[in-house]
C-alpha cells in the first residue's frame, strides 16, 4: 500500500464564520489555529497549507479569565533605543479589539513562511458584520467538519 501524498489540486478550502461573543480567548484561538492549519481534515500534511479560511465576528466580545485584563502585557518595539512600548490587555482592547485575537492566533501557528501563509486566511472583525458574504461562509461546528471529511475517503 502506497502512502498518499496530497497535491495542490486535491486541496479544497472552505469558509467558516465564528462568533467570538462570550468565548474564552485562548480556547477560541486554539480552535481557529487548527482550522487555519487544516488539522481537522483527513488530508492534513504538516508541510502544506491545507487549512480553511476563517472569519471571526464580534471580536470585541471576547472573554478572558482571571486577572489577564490588567496583567497581560503586549509589547511593541520599533527598533530604536528606548522605544519599547508596553500596554495591557484592556488598553489594546479599547483601541483595537481585533488585534487581541489576531495576536493569540498568530502565536499558535508555525513560525515560518508556511505560518504566514496560513495567517493570511484569517479575517477578524470587531463588530457583527463582515464583507465576506459572497464567499458564503458556513457557521463552524465540530459536526459540520466531520461531515465534510467523511465523504472524501
**What range does the domain containing 131 cover?**
12-150
Domains: count for the chain: 1
Confidence check: pLDDT of 53 > 90: yes
C-alpha to C-alpha distance for 98 and 95, rounded to whole angstroms: 9
Neighbour-count burial of 108, counting CB atoms closer than 10 A to its CB (0-12 exposed, 13-18 middle, 19+ buried): middle
Say if 4 falls within a structural domain: no
Bridge partners for 92 per DSSP: none
Say if 6 falls within a structural domain: no
Say if 70 falls within a structural domain: yes
What pLDDT is attached to residue 137?
Answer: 96
Return the CATH number at 87. 3.90.1180.10
SS (H, E, C) the chain: CCCCCCCHHHCCCCEEEEECCCCEHHHHHHHHHHHHHCCCCCCCCCCCCCCCEEEEECHHHCECCCCHHHHCEEEEECCCCCCEEEEEHHHHHHHCHHHHHHHHHHCCCCCCHHHHHHHCCEEECCCCCCCCHHHCCEECCHHHHHHHHHCCC
The gap from C-alpha 35 to its chain's centroid, in whole angstroms, comes to 7
Place of cell 487549512: 51
Helix, strand, or coil here: 143? helix
What pLDDT is attached to residue 150?
Answer: 53
- pTM (two decimals): 0.88
C-alpha to C-alpha distance for 10 and 17, rounded to whole angstroms: 23
| Residue % of the chain over a pLDDT of 70 | 92
Say if 48 falls within a structural domain: yes
pLDDT tens digit string along 15-26?
Answer: 999 999 999 999
Say if 93 falls within a structural domain: yes
Amino acid at each position: 500500500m502506497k502512502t498518499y501524498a496530497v497535491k495542490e489540486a486535491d486541496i479544497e478550502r472552505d469558509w467558516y464564520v465564528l462568533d467570538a461573543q462570550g468565548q474564552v480567548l485562548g480556547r477560541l484561538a486554539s480552535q481557529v489555529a487548527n482550522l487555519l492549519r487544516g488539522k481537522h481534515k483527513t488530508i492534513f500534511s504538516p508541510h502544506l497549507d491545507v487549512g480553511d479560511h476563517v472569519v471571526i465576528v464580534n471580536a470585541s466580545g471576547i472573554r478572558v479569565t482571571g486577572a489577564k485584563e490588567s496583567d497581560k502585557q503586549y509589547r511593541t518595539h520599533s527598533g530604536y533605543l528606548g522605544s519599547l512600548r508596553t500596554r495591557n490587555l484592556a488598553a489594546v482592547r479599547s483601541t483595537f479589539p481585533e488585534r487581541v485575537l489576531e495576536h493569540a492566533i498568530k502565536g499558535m501557528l508555525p513560525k515560518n513562511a508556511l505560518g504566514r501563509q496560513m495567517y493570511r486566511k484569517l479575517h477578524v472583525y470587531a463588530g457583527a458584520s463582515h464583507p465576506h458574504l459572497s464567499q458564503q461562509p458556513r457557521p463552524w461546528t465540530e459536526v459540520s467538519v466531520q461531515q465534510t471529511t467523511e465523504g472524501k475517503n
